[in-house]
Amino acid sequence: MTSKRCFSSMMKENMRHQIWLVVLSILGNTLSMPALYLLTVGGQEVFDNRYALAAHEVSGFATTQFMIPAGVIALMGCLMVAVSGFQYLHSRKKEDLYESLPIRRRDLFLVNWLNGFLIWFVPFVCNLFVMYFMAFARYSRMKKNYFAYEIYKRAVNDVEWLTGPQFFCKTMLTGLALVLAFLVVYNLVILAMTLTGNPINTLAVAGTIGVGVIGFVGLFNVMIQLYLETWMGEVPYGKIAILSPLANLYRLAVFQAHSAPTALYVRVLLENLLVAVLLFAAAYLCYLKRPTEMAGQGLKSKYMRYPIQILVTVCAIMAGWILMTAVVESFGNEEFAAIWAILGGLLAGAFVFGVLDIIFQLDFKAFFKHKLLMLCTVAAGLLFCIGMATDLFGYDSYLPDKNNIAEMSLFSNDHSSYERYWATNPELKELLDREAGIKDQDMIYALLQKAVAPVDYSELYAYPEERICVKVTLKSGRSYYRTYEVVSSPELQAVLDTIQYRDLAYKIKDREKETFVSATISRNDASTKITNKDVLYAISEAYNRDLREKTIGELETGIALGRITFTSMSDDAFITHRFYITEGMVNTVQTLRENGYEDMVTPYTTQKVEKVFLSMRDVYDLKDPDVDMFERMESYFGVDLKNGEYMTNYGKEGIKSMYRSGELPPVVYQLDTDEYASDGWFVEITDEKDVQEILNLTSCIYNYDMASPWTAELYLSMKNGETYLLPSYELLPEKYLVSFLAEYFVRYGK
């Protein structure tokens, strides 16, 4: 008997024993594609001649949406056929039979692999084409009916109709994605089966190979975000995902669902194809080398066991640490967070390591089988976490000696006034490398010394800060990137005052202007959208002129009149450029006025505002007798009320008296406005002078990179009867806080 004949007869024989899977596959694929199509969109009547809408539903299902039901079937199918085809690897009896047969291991593998694939693939392809033909026929009919109506001909440009080839390609591309999804998971499961001797070990190994690396990187990134303040960069999940097949598959599904650009989608398709091929090759080689006696055993290979155990344990330690920190902090016990985090990491690490030993050894007594390795892994994991939390490795305070530095470049932080949504997601470092940064070495080094020096946080409320990026190239040739939050200081001011920095951080670049889509001006009472490219260009030019003519400090003075957001979109990027319009931006304000946006840049004045209401936000639970209102208000608003002017000069009774006599602003309990009906306690400010004072205070520019000195919920009651809620501030002037206290004393006899 020739090898070829033997192979085909074995294929036939193997398929005969999996006939139940063939039936399930046919049933599942039929239900998930043609049947579901007919049940949902394929059999619906078209009401009111809305052919475009109905056709859109048909094409939507047949080109994209069938991915979900058919994908579920594909994933269930690949698990079932993989397990069914290769389950003999987990049974000594079956291994004895199959391995003793006169057929090469290679052929046995291919017979099982190919049969498993065909069991799913053939019914899938048949049903895909059945669904495609049904859907396309209906789609074409609707298209014809649509154009038969004269009235629609005028609106032809408003409806996007797919051509025949487009419809076909989209359907087949989704089908291809499903085939790849099947192959990736199928090969992953087979690989895990060949490496192990029983199902639970297969599960553990498949999970680790499937998402182990991305899980580790994700947790590592959380630790970085939590603890490394100067870390700069984005985790290239797209690149790392290729090391975690299931994560890469998830990317494919997301890209498919969100209609990613074709080039990008094709790249992800190819990546998944590569992953599927690599998994196949790994499964094939592992199968050929697999010792038969592994059947029924756990995971014997130390080259697989220990890396998995260490990787998963370190992940568990980080997860335990992060989870425990979050839980403890959510209960407000921040001072004990470190102890709980260590405990969380320790328990999670030891537990996971021990459980993996039980699984790999298939022995409940094996929890402490590798005590030394367990101890070392958990200790190393905890040391890493502690090191991150305490900057033990000196990452955030690192600054090389100036003599060792060849060059420094300073950039604005990506988020100073931009938000970039990059489809191709280049790293921030790559973006910086494209730009020319500030090169003044002395100025940068002085700033960095300030940035890495210990900060007196008590001063932070009073000073704004700037986030900057730096690229440092050492004389050794090594270079690194960092980002720093620098508190207000002469060193920072020196940077902010340079035109170069303003250009880098705030200027609207030419490439953005070329791809402007729109701009939206918003303030508390209104918003408007500008789409005229000439106007957009004029405003951006005016804004850039302001940046040239004034320092940042000068631009930040005056009342914040509103906020403007420019949107630019090119083939590979979606950029928003957002900033607040202040009175100091004379050119910008003037241009907006000239272009008909006068109302959007006219500040509130007492001529317009009748009253102001200040609330206590979430501190107004004054009814709780256990709460010490002094402490609560002091800690929340950052003031010293007990030793403040009012308590010292007038005492509690004096305050009560002043409150009753109206010397202190009154408190109201409910505020019903047109837009913002709310319960709570509010200080009502009616005196024109006091109202103006509040309005002046609101004029401080607030930018999410620059902490504003005070905050509360602030309602404006206008003279024309309208009310507006202004954005939050963080501190109330003392006399208003005292009003709340006085009301509290009076009302509850405290």
How far is residue 255 from each of residues 132, 231, 251, 269, measured CA to CA in Å? 22, 29, 6, 10
Closer of 12 and 511 to other proteins (Cβ): 12
Closest CA to 84 of 184, 192, 190: 190
> Rounded to an integer, what distance in angstroms lies between the CA atom of residue 83 and that of residue 186?
9
Which pairing describes strands 418-422 and 573-582: parallel, antiparallel, or unpaired?
A: antiparallel
Sheet holding 667-671, edge to edge: 667-671, 678-685, 609-615, 714-718, 723-726
Closer of 194 and 540 to other proteins (Cβ): 194
How far is residue 741 from each of residues 628, 647, 651, 693, measured CA to CA in Å? 11, 10, 12, 21
Closer of 10 and 352 to other proteins (Cβ): 10
Closer of 98 and 636 to other proteins (Cβ): 98
Q: Which residue has the tokens 């294929």?
A: 11
Which pairing describes strands 678-685 and 609-615: parallel, antiparallel, or unpaired?
A: antiparallel
Cα three-residue angle 575-579-583, rounded to 5 degrees: 155
Closest CA to 61 of 90, 75, 84, 40: 40
Q: Please name the amino acid found at residue 1.
A: M
Closer of 81 and 508 to other proteins (Cβ): 81
Query: Rounded to the nearest whole angstrom, what is the least distance from the CB of residue 106 to other proteins in the complex?
Result: 8
Task: Quote the strand ranges of 413-464, DSSP E.
Answer: 418-422
Residues in the chain, overall count? 750
Query: Rounded to the nearest whole angstrom, what is the least distance from the CB of residue 92 to other proteins in the complex?
Result: 8
C-beta separation of 666 from 685 below 8 A: no
Query: Rounded to the nearest whole angstrom, what is the least distance from the CB of residue 278 to other proteins in the complex?
Result: 24
Query: Rounded to the nearest whole angstrom, what is the least distance from the CB of residue 349 to other proteins in the complex?
Result: 27
Closer of 7 and 724 to other proteins (Cβ): 7
**Binding stretches for other proteins (CB under 8 A):** 1, 3, 6, 9-10, 12-13, 16-17, 91, 93-97, 99-105, 107, 291-293, 300
> Rounded to an integer, what distance in angstroms lies between the CA atom of residue 480 and that of residue 467?
17
Query: Rounded to the nearest whole angstrom, what is the least distance from the CB of residue 118 to other proteins in the complex?
Result: 17
How far is residue 322 from each of residues 69, 220, 235, 351, measured CA to CA in Å? 36, 10, 18, 16
Closer of 1 and 677 to other proteins (Cβ): 1
The residues facing 412 across adjacent strands are: 468
Query: Rounded to the nearest whole angstrom, what is the least distance from the CB of residue 414 to other proteins in the complex?
Result: 55
Tokens of 628: 């010490």
Tokens of 571: 């083939």
Cα three-residue angle 392-315-243, rounded to 5 degrees: 110
Query: Rounded to the nearest whole angstrom, what is the least distance from the CB of residue 81 to other proteins in the complex?
Result: 17
Query: Rounded to the nearest whole angstrom, what is the least distance from the CB of residue 123 to other proteins in the complex?
Result: 22
Closer of 300 and 608 to other proteins (Cβ): 300
Closer of 1 and 151 to other proteins (Cβ): 1
As a whole number of Å, the end-to-end CA separation of the chain is: 102
Q: Quickly list DSSP for 479-510.
A: EEEEEEEEES-HHHHHHHTSHHHHHHHTPPPH
Query: Rounded to the nearest whole angstrom, what is the least distance from the CB of residue 116 to other proteins in the complex?
Result: 17
Closest CA to 733 of 704, 698, 703, 681: 698
Query: Rounded to the nearest whole angstrom, what is the least distance from the CB of residue 90 to other proteins in the complex?
Result: 13
Query: Rounded to the nearest whole angstrom, what is the least distance from the CB of residue 87 to other proteins in the complex?
Result: 11
Closer of 94 and 660 to other proteins (Cβ): 94
Q: Which residue has the tokens 């938000």?
A: 419
Q: Please name the amino acid found at residue 186.
A: Y
Closest CA to 33 of 249, 178, 181: 178
Closer of 91 and 565 to other proteins (Cβ): 91
> Rounded to an integer, what distance in angstroms lies between the CA atom of residue 188 and that of residue 192?
6
Closer of 194 and 582 to other proteins (Cβ): 194
Closest CA to 619 of 713, 553, 725: 713
Query: Rounded to the nearest whole angstrom, what is the least distance from the CB of residue 18 to other proteins in the complex?
Result: 11
Query: Rounded to the nearest whole angstrom, what is the least distance from the CB of residue 288 to other proteins in the complex?
Result: 8
Query: Rounded to the nearest whole angstrom, what is the least distance from the CB of residue 364 to other proteins in the complex?
Result: 18
Query: What is the number of helices (H) and of strands (E) in the chain?
Result: 28, 13
Closer of 113 and 597 to other proteins (Cβ): 113
Closer of 7 and 418 to other proteins (Cβ): 7
Map 300-351 to HEC letters.
CCHHHHHHHHHHHHHHHHHHHHHHHHHHHHHCCCHHHHHHHHHHHHHHHHHH
Q: Quickly list DSSP for 105-124.
A: HHHHHHHHHHHHHHHHHHHH
Closer of 95 and 556 to other proteins (Cβ): 95
Query: Rounded to the nearest whole angstrom, what is the least distance from the CB of residue 363 to other proteins in the complex?
Result: 12
